[in-house]
């Protein structure tokens, strides 16, 4: 097919006439176009940075439950163990629980002391059960830790119970020796029975306590490894199972929770416990017993 021919036409070049209002509109359009593309670049960069941050930062799931932080003998990196100063430090950091050890004196007064022997943490010597309470009350339980704690006393258990109640704290009572009936009497008199967990070094003491206080719903039992769980449940009938953090597994936590048991993870020692704390949170334990409650609470808060 042939197209009709046409003659070449020459057009005269005419100057472009733009009014001041048109110039303003064009300038505004150019600015909007550049601003739009610059904003797109900024949004893209922020998006990429967000992805990188999410990939590099390990976070606790928003739905993860924060365990109750229990100060093992108080805050032993800050104040001398098992003293009122250590208890006060737990209160300051809003720890929900204080673990304490109790022993009995020659005249049957319960004191807060781990070793039974006075030598390591006081200026006394020998076994506390050989000392009268009037003499125990004069001993210095703070100077060994730091000079500023000179004059700290070995607390009477009754006094620690009272302080805990006034400050809304729970106690884990680690029984060393003495009369269990008298221990329970002190706790009941202070109205703290439902706010005390009970732990025993000897399994025979755990069984004896369960027999004399079947109504208590806060009995702890120690499990050396997950394979012991069934035996411990059958023989000791605990409400709380205590296990070292290094032995803790997801399956163990699940088994305990399925049987209505709380899990208490032991994270002991004064070195940095960042990884162990994260493991406890990730696995969903109920209690973290730690020498560094302040470190745990500063990062995670406290599951009171």
* pLDDT given for residue 45 in this prediction: 46
Q: Distance between CA atoms of 55 and 49, rounded to whole angstroms?
A: 10
Write the pLDDT tens digit of every residue in 217-267.
999 999 999 999 999 999 999 999 999 999 999 999 999 999 999 999 999
Alpha-carbon 38 to chain mean position: 46
Domains and their CATH numbers in the chain = 68-300 (3.20.20.190)
Residue 197: pLDDT over 50: yes
DSSP 218: -
Q: What's the predicted TM-score (pTM) here? A: 0.79
| Closest among 133, 76, 132 to 100, alpha carbons compared | 76
Which pLDDT band holds residue 5 (cuts at 50, 70, 90)?
Answer: very low
Q: Distance between CA atoms of 253 and 259, rounded to whole angstroms?
A: 10
Percent of the chain with pLDDT over 70: 79
Report helix, strand or coil for 118.
coil
Are 111 and 128 within 8 A, CB to CB? yes
Write the pLDDT tens digit of every residue in 37-94.
555 554 444 443 444 444 333 334 445 789 999 999 999 999 999 999 999 999 999 9
Q: Between residues 55 and 284, which one has the greater pLDDT?
A: 284
| Closest among 178, 199, 223, 180 to 97, alpha carbons compared | 199
Residue 12: pLDDT over 60: no
Residue 275: pLDDT over 70: yes
Please state the φ and ψ torsions of residue 244, each to the nearest 5 degrees. Answer: -65, 140
Report the sign of the C-alpha dihedral through residues 267, 272, 276, 281, in that order: positive
Q: What angle do CA 70, 279, 69 make, to 5 degrees?
A: 10
């Amino acid at each position: 097919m042939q197209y009709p021919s046409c003659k070449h036409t020459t057009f005269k070049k005419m100057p472009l006439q733009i009014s001041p209002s048109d110039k303003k509109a064009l300038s505004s359009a150019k600015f909007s176009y550049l601003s739009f593309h610059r904003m797109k670049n900024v949004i893209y960069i922020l998006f990429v940075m967000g992805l990188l941050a999410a990939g590099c930062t390990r976070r606790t799931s928003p739905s993860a439950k924060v365990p109750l932080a229990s100060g093992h003998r108080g805050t032993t990196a800050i104040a001398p163990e098992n003293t009122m100063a250590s208890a006060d430090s737990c209160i300051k950091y809003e720890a929900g629980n204080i673990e304490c050890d109790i022993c009995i004196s020659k005249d049957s007064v319960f004191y807060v002391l781990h070793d039974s022997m006075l030598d390591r943490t006081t200026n006394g010597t020998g076994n506390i059960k050989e000392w009268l309470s009037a003499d125990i009350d004069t001993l210095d339980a703070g100077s060994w830790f730091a000079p500023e704690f000179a004059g700290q006393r070995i607390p009477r258990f009754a006094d620690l119970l009272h302080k805990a109640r006034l400050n809304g704290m729970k106690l884990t009572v680690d029984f060393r020796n003495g009369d269990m009936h008298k221990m329970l009497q002190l706790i009941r008199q202070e109205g703290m029975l439902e706010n005390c967990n009970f732990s025993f070094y000897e399994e025979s003491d755990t069984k004896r306590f369960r027999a004399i206080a079947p109504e208590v719903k806060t009995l702890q039992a120690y499990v050396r490894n997950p394979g012991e769980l069934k035996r411990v449940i059958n023989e000791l009938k605990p409400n709380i199972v205590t296990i070292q953090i290094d032995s803790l597994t997801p399956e163990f936590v699940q088994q305990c929770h399925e049987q209505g048991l709380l899990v208490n993870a032991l994270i002991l020692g004064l070195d940095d416990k960042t990884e162990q704390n994260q493991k406890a949170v990730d696995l969903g334990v109920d209690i973290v017993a730690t020498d560094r409650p302040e470190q745990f609470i500063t990062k995670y808060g406290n599951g009171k």
